[in-house]
Chains A and B, each alone.
Chain A
């Protein structure tokens, strides 16, 4: 079974600064997908960024980028130029590439606070 670990329950960053959220996972599969979702106080789970394991290039979406280290099974999220609207709970998630195994396995989350 796959597991996802987020070792930072809470993080804070000054507005306009950069912050990195950590995520590690354990799997025996070679092909899979990784995601970062944010969940603001409104409670809706919003996709931030996704990474296919077969791609060596790190995914980037505007101010959000990942550092994907497949051998180390690490998938950290970097948020540049932090904004007040980035304040949320961030979940790292793993999904198998096998058809019939659609389950998203989530980490326990990191609560990010933005300091004005």
Chain B
């Protein structure tokens, strides 16, 4: 079945460091890919999405590119802030599907 694998955390960075959180997926078709973020004490919220190969999703300085050849959707940010401390989930939804499959999540700590 479809699945999402993302790097284990926690990831600890200093403010203004470069962030990469790796995500790879397995799917039978051509899924849409997402990154969700969960800030402490809050619900999950969609951070960015990409619906087809080579699409780049971006939001709040975060970016991820849909790489079909490597089945990857890595999350990047050039300069993290303390306020980016959260848990990040990579997820997919099959084309025409009505279900979202989530990865296990990666906790990010950013130190001042």
| Chain A complexes with chain B | no
- Chain A residues proximal to chain B, CB less than 8 Å: none
